[in-house]
Amino acid sequence: MGIFFYGCITLDGYLADKRHGLDWLHQCGTTEDTGYEEFYSRMDITVMGRRTFREIERLEHPGEVYPTTQNYVFTHRDHPPQEGFHFVSGDVIEFVKRFDSTKNIWIVGGNTILAPLLEENMVDHLIVQIAPVLLGDGIPLFTQKEALRRFRLDGVRQYGPFAELSYSRA
């Protein structure tokens, strides 16, 4: 089991545009065009930041997005209850360490949650899909302050216009 990052970036390494929008991604295709369903079926827990959650809130039925996982949103602000999501604050490293090691944890979205886990060498798998888009500016996957970490390439797949690179911690 382990801690996974699974997400899509642009060719120039951005998760979202400058306003944290994902229109560029939605214009490229759908999750049906990828291995998302198979990946999600193996996850037990999702952990995301408030900005990532804001994109989910914009959907028609946000409570149905991750129906089979325990879903946690890190935020420093009060948030009204939302079906299917738990709002938490504090240290993401300590929070993730609380979970049973037999669980698969998916780090959804941004570098605010991912960077501390990478720094502590806690991320076991990086599954990065690359969309055929150049944004030129936006929210990068990595903070560019990460320490040297080595990963082993496990696989390369093509899903329509997307290239997927799967890595495991070396």
Judge contact between 74 and 50, C-beta under 8 A.
yes
pTM value surpassing 0.85: yes
Q: What is the DSSP letter of 104?
A: -
Determine which of 25-34, 37-46, 81-90 has the lowest per-residue pLDDT on average. Answer: 25-34
Domain boundaries, the chain: 3-169
Could you report the per-residue pLDDT of 57-97, keeping only the tens digit for each? 888 788 889 999 999 999 988 877 888 999 999 999 999 99
Report CA-CA distances (Å) from 137 to 18, 96, 130, 142, 164: 7, 30, 16, 13, 22
Q: What is the pLDDT of residue 30?
A: 66
Task: Please tell me the CATH code under which domain 3-169 is placed.
Answer: 3.40.430.10
Judge contact between 141 and 169, C-beta under 8 A.
no
The two tokens of residue 150 are 């080595």
Q: How many CB atoms lie within 10 A of CB 85?
A: 21
